[in-house]
Amino acid sequence: MHESEFSEAIDNLCTADPRYHGQAYYFIREALDFAVRLHKKRPEGTMRHVSASEFLEGFRLYALQEFGPMALTVLGAWGLRRTEDVGEVVFNLVASGKLGKTESDRKEDFAGGFDFTHAFSHPFEPRANRSPEAGVDAEAEDATVANHHEVAEEASP
């Protein structure tokens, strides 16, 4: 896809749906590429569809990688405050023809994926302050964040 065509589509989407900043659309496209690499299960050169849950996992990890403790602030400034917002942007891109979907993909699949405040703040809290009742193992979470850095480094050109 030509970048100028994508940029024009984003301009049109922002006019039609001003809830989301243009940068949100670019970030969603980058996060999708990241999620595909993260969940790579098909031979090189074939298209790989990711589910909403796989995409949201990749989105979360990519946002943490790119923005660190500022992820919640940056995403919020772009209108992305919940996983439902991510789904809205994805399906705006689908409607514009810039992303594809399967017959089983639904916008509702993005509902309740994770809590943005917890997902983007919790990894940066001191371990002693991480709440065990949230159901997150601090060591496992640290390993997941470290692993996504390795995936990103392997996928970089």
DSSP class of residue 47? -
CA atoms within 13 A on the CB side of 59: 32
Predicted confidence band at 11 (pLDDT cuts at 50, 70, 90)?
A: very high
CA distance 131 to 136: 8
CA atoms within 13 A on the CB side of 51: 7
29-54 pLDDT tens trace: 999 999 999 887 655 555 578 999 99
87-145 pLDDT tens trace: 999 999 999 999 999 999 999 999 999 999 999 999 998 877 666 544 444 555 555 55
The residues, any chain, with a CB within 8 Å of residue 74's CB and separated by 6 or more, are 63, 67
pTM, two decimals, is 0.79
Specify the pLDDT at position 2.
Answer: 74
> Is residue 156 over pLDDT 50?
no
CB 57, CB 151: distance < 8 Å: no
Specify the pLDDT at position 149.
Answer: 52
For the residues 147-157, what does the mean pLDDT come to? 51
Nearest residue to 50 via CA among 132, 105, 97: 105
Q: CA–CA distance from 95 to each of 21, 116, 122 (Å)?
A: 17, 25, 34
Specify the pLDDT at position 3.
Answer: 80
| 138-155 and 52-67 helices, crossing angle to 10° | 90
Token couple for 3: 């970048």
55-84 pLDDT tens trace: 999 999 999 999 999 999 999 999 999 999
DSSP class of residue 66? H
For residue 15, count other CB atoms closer than 10 A to its CB.
8
Specify the pLDDT at position 157.
Answer: 43
- For CA atoms 131, 148, 109, 117, give the dihedral sign: positive
Specify the pLDDT at position 45.
Answer: 55
